[in-house]
Structure 1
Amino acid sequence: MTGLVFLLPVALGLGLAGLAAFFWAARSGQFEDLDGAALRILIDDEELRGAIDPITNKVLHHVD
């Protein structure tokens, strides 16, 4: 019974924190474009031809 005194407020606090995080994400536009990230892999990036990778400092080539 003494465990409930500790676990119940912790569970309610975590639930409210999760609910607050969901409302914050919804308000800040995290769920606006759900298909954009999935379809971005299909877009051919012509701009990458001749671009320089900032990590390796090598020229990126477009491979067909």
Structure 2
Amino acid sequence: INDDLATVVATVSDLGLVLTQLHLAQASSPYCALARDLFLKELGDAGYQQEHQEADHADL
């Protein structure tokens, strides 16, 4: 489980940098949605579940 956690942390860190850069771009950019979807997929693949997905991203 430690290896999985390390992978998730690395992925979250990498995607966090991407999301930060995309946040500086226009929020309506399709790349923002793509990065968000990839981020959520990685978390889901790691076993995390997100509640109220639509409400959490209504401001994007």
Q: Same fold (TM over 0.5)?
A: no
Structure whose residues are more often helix by fraction: 2
Q: Which has the higher contact order (CA 8 A, sep 6+)?
A: 2
Q: Could you say which TM-score interval applies, normalised by the shorter chain?
A: 0.3 to 0.5
> Which of the two has higher C-alpha Rg?
1
